[in-house]
Structure 1
């Protein structure tokens, strides 16, 4: 199967291989900054674990030669001094115990670092998400990057460091083995290293293939995660059961799995088949050296103890070479996956916008001056040359079909997006020059798709102003303004009642109650002089919506308000009505003025009025 090439595939293979290791240093720095003490202990234990195996082999040679000498002494004199041999055995047992302790310590360090690193990486991913623009979250490619980063990269830095330390450990062992083996013949060292290279090349090649496959199928993996959400979340459960979507979605889930599994199976079989075939070369090298050392012992060129030591060194050395080359191959794979993490973390962050906390013309209100905007990747503009002025104390209603640009206008006003041309002013100052906190303190917004947080009632309200997130007095004041106090007082724990069904004891609210919670959230910002309601009462009946908007208007006197609603009985309350069609303002004026013109607003109002007769 052909996979899309990596970004580095225009470079020569050797350059691609070594270039990908640029993340190793960053991973080491990440582990070091997470816990210096654990990292240092890990490094020391790795060093000791690398030296001790050669010491075991050397002591083993002394034991065998000591036993042979003692046997000869016993044949000649009828007795033998075994003190030296027993001391050597005790010494080897001590070294073996130290190796076991070092390995257990390494495993402990890995377990602790794994927990710390997982938390650290997840925090880095989430902190990065807080710095990104809304456009990132409305882009499918961004979600592919986020999926890849979260799936693998949280464990890869520690894996890379573990393999790096393992490589150092095996490198130290190999040097100590080579010092002893070269006494027999330098060629044994060359045979030892060369025997593991073919299998290593296969592993490196298939690691790259596995990574390409991982990147290529991110959308399918994300679809699987989405299907799991739809099949197992309470907010989808009603329709899944009512429309009998379950079997169809489960079939689609299985189909994606079967496709991905078939690709994994092909790659696994190829990888293991080549690994086995090339691994036989290393086995042949070992037994060739085995025969050579055995023949040398038979000819008397080396002692029995030396033969035992050299065979043990060659076997352990072969394992160390294999482990070293496997570690390098694994490091290559880890670096490939770490590229996902850093690709996500290194996405450009928009520079801080503005530092001013007040405008040159206080009381001028909000002005849109020929504002145009097009969503990234879209061919059609969402807004075109929009100009309007909202003065303090005035209310503005936005009217238009779905997709006409009403919510886009609010997103620009709240600086979730930046206009492509034109400008938006608040108190005579361009929004881009306002300091973020000062600007957002001036604006309270409720969107149609407002958040229904699985938090306490009070925290759901407090989310409207993070400076007073846990201020119970503010909760109660905002709930009263948002008409939520009446039903909150009837809940078992009032403002401490858990909402939603995700957690034990949670209570679910009706749609209208949730909307009153959201309305209360907007009133948490007591300093806000611009309040925006973007169809938050769309699921209420006309009478309930009219009551809420009338209450909202009474509480917001002296403030600027923007209303978006499809109910013209509510819209007519506004001082100024703007009709938007395909991103352009086509009509503007009061209800009476627009009715007199007999244009689109009058037609739509009359059409809706007929439905209530």
Structure 2
């Protein structure tokens, strides 16, 4: 993914914008409270100076006024602490939810799925997941830096009035701040370099803690090996970042030592001036308090500034990914696909290579899929069946050649609109842990509340009997995310996915990619046969194409056209009887092998 040099929004504006979008009221209160509260200490120090000088001069009125001012300022500062912190926590929590929604929306905007196969894009997403906390706390970091800046300005004004030469002291804070900024930039680069190893470690952790993988891990004894690999990947990622952190420590420590020397010199200067009688006792107390305060401010400023730099780094990544998504969306095409096919779908010289791979998954594919037909795609594992199907569904774009729908290049059609004309059930289907009504209804959200529509889809997906046996029917919650959820077997989940694919009653393309792989062989052939027959009847409205790939070749008899894929190319085309007549053909060989195996 190529970074861009210009951005419509700055990273600070984008980070604070997330907090304002999440909870404007809490964010504004946090900025006011954290921005002004640090000045109270400076005000109190000045009032102490007034109080001491008044006490020395026996000025009772001024003394009492200063004491009252100190009490009032302190009471206001202490009294606002709890409320301002509560608002800050509220802002951070709301921003965390907003960040999650932004990331989901951003990834969802990427057309198709090919971008998610790009390792560089996945690394950017992985780093954003890791640094989600910095995006969530962007408003908090900015408010803390604002407070430090306001306090520094107040301190500078008072120092300029009392002892202008001491204004040189804050200048010594510049090297530590610059060193912190440079250190954060190096750390950000290191995090990017470690993203691949961190992503692997997270994947291995997910596998090692997944209930679905527990059986295989225990029976195979793979647990120790998996833990070792996860630890190795995590250590590699951590070492990359830690090495940079230690190098940064040398630079930041040297800059802090420079400020410490200046701090000691300022203290000696003030004491010398007092010994000469050039400043009052109140001035000494004020200056010592302010000089000491500058030291504390520097420590806090470096911490807050580093905190803000981490937020800005995460915000820049988010902006880069958003602009990448914008560019990808702009190339998605604007043409609107017809609601009814006339001629069908045509592939001319189509080739495809997955991102980061040198090998072609498909090459030189020429194919015509007539409107209103049922098409079976068959071939050995790895032949390119799923790749071909995903290209037709608009999930990938060809790297060469073109796909046309009724003569219109699919690359010029808006991918979201083509997806609305498509319905699918894949082998790696999603297990949506909603209630049955919405897990099935997700196939057409507009009809999810229509129980008759959902029930019809369940019947066509072979899941009506399954749902009838659930405790609350359509209202039964599925999965282990709920205390009262019902977990299903792999085959039962697949029936739900098949029903979901039938929610769209008139798709231009119905895709079934190994849709019964998790269903037992005795029921598989019956279910898929009835499913394809039902699809043939219902696609009449759109004159659509039903495209299926199944390892049960007996189902291919139902097809109007059988496409045999071998090593990324179309090896054979025809109907069952025609292909079986070719004694040396791939289809006949596959069919006879499978027949013997099932026999």
TM-score by length of 2: 0.88
1:316 aligns with 2:304: no
Q: Deviations over 1:295-323 (max 9, x none)?
A: 32233222222221221122223333444
1:261 and 1:356 map into 2 onto residues whose CA distance is 48
1:184 and 1:41 map into 2 onto residues whose CA distance is 33
Alignment check: 8 A CA contact 2:14 2:315 kept: no
The 5-angstrom pairing of residues 491-530 of structure 1 reads 491-528=470-507, 530=509
* 2:579 counterpart residue number: 594
SS of match in other structure, 1:577? strand
How far did residue 393 of structure 1 move? 4.5
How far did residue 510 of structure 1 move? 2.6
Structure 2 residue ranges without an equivalent (≥5) = 540-544
Comparing 572-581 and 30-39, the one that deviates more: 30-39
SS of match in other structure, 1:128? helix
1:41 aligns with 2:13: no
Match of 2:120 among 126, 131, 141: 141
Alignment check: 8 A CA contact 2:525 2:552 kept: no
Alignment check: 8 A CA contact 1:153 1:341 kept: no
Q: Deviations over 1:59-104 (max 9, x none)?
A: 111211222233xxxxxxxxxx845423321221111222334555
Q: Deviations over 1:384-419 (max 9, x none)?
A: 333333334432221211222211221121111223
1:368 and 1:563 map into 2 onto residues whose CA distance is 17
Alignment check: 8 A CA contact 2:193 2:240 kept: no
How far did residue 421 of structure 1 move? 4.0
The 5-angstrom pairing of residues 599-610 of structure 1 reads 599-610=585-596
Cα 1:588–1:270 shift into 2, 3 Å? closer
2:174 and 2:184 map into 1 onto residues whose CA distance is 15
Alignment check: 8 A CA contact 1:148 1:341 kept: no
Match of 1:289 among 263, 266, 274: 266
Alignment check: 8 A CA contact 2:92 2:136 kept: no
How far did residue 483 of structure 1 move? 1.7
The 5-angstrom pairing of residues 96-107 of structure 1 reads 96-101=74-79, 103-107=81-85
* 2:377 counterpart residue number: 398
TM-score by length of 1: 0.86
Match of 2:536 among 557, 571, 578: 557
1:578 aligns with 2:549: no
Alignment check: 8 A CA contact 2:194 2:238 kept: no
Q: Deviations over 1:175-213 (max 9, x none)?
A: 3333333344322221x2244344334433432332222
Alignment check: 8 A CA contact 2:440 2:497 kept: yes
Match of 2:210 among 230, 233, 243: 233
Match of 2:190 among 204, 213, 232: 213
1:424 and 1:262 map into 2 onto residues whose CA distance is 47
How far did residue 287 of structure 1 move? 3.2
Cα 1:186–1:129 shift into 2, 3 Å? same
Match of 2:40 among 46, 49, 52: 52
SS of match in other structure, 1:556? helix
* 1:25 counterpart residue number: 13
How far did residue 436 of structure 1 move? 5.1
2:344 and 2:234 map into 1 onto residues whose CA distance is 55
* 2:281 counterpart residue number: 304
SS of match in other structure, 1:254? helix
* 1:182 counterpart residue number: 160
2:215 and 2:364 map into 1 onto residues whose CA distance is 43
* 2:232 counterpart residue number: 255
* 1:246 counterpart residue number: 223
Cα 1:90–1:451 shift into 2, 3 Å? same
1:420 and 1:366 map into 2 onto residues whose CA distance is 18
2:35 and 2:552 map into 1 onto residues whose CA distance is 74
SS of match in other structure, 2:329? coil
RMSD: 3.1
1:370 and 1:441 map into 2 onto residues whose CA distance is 26
* 2:443 counterpart residue number: 464
1:449 and 1:266 map into 2 onto residues whose CA distance is 40
1:609 and 1:512 map into 2 onto residues whose CA distance is 23
How far did residue 53 of structure 1 move? 2.9
Alignment check: 8 A CA contact 2:374 2:536 kept: no
Comparing 88-97 and 376-385, the one that deviates more: 376-385
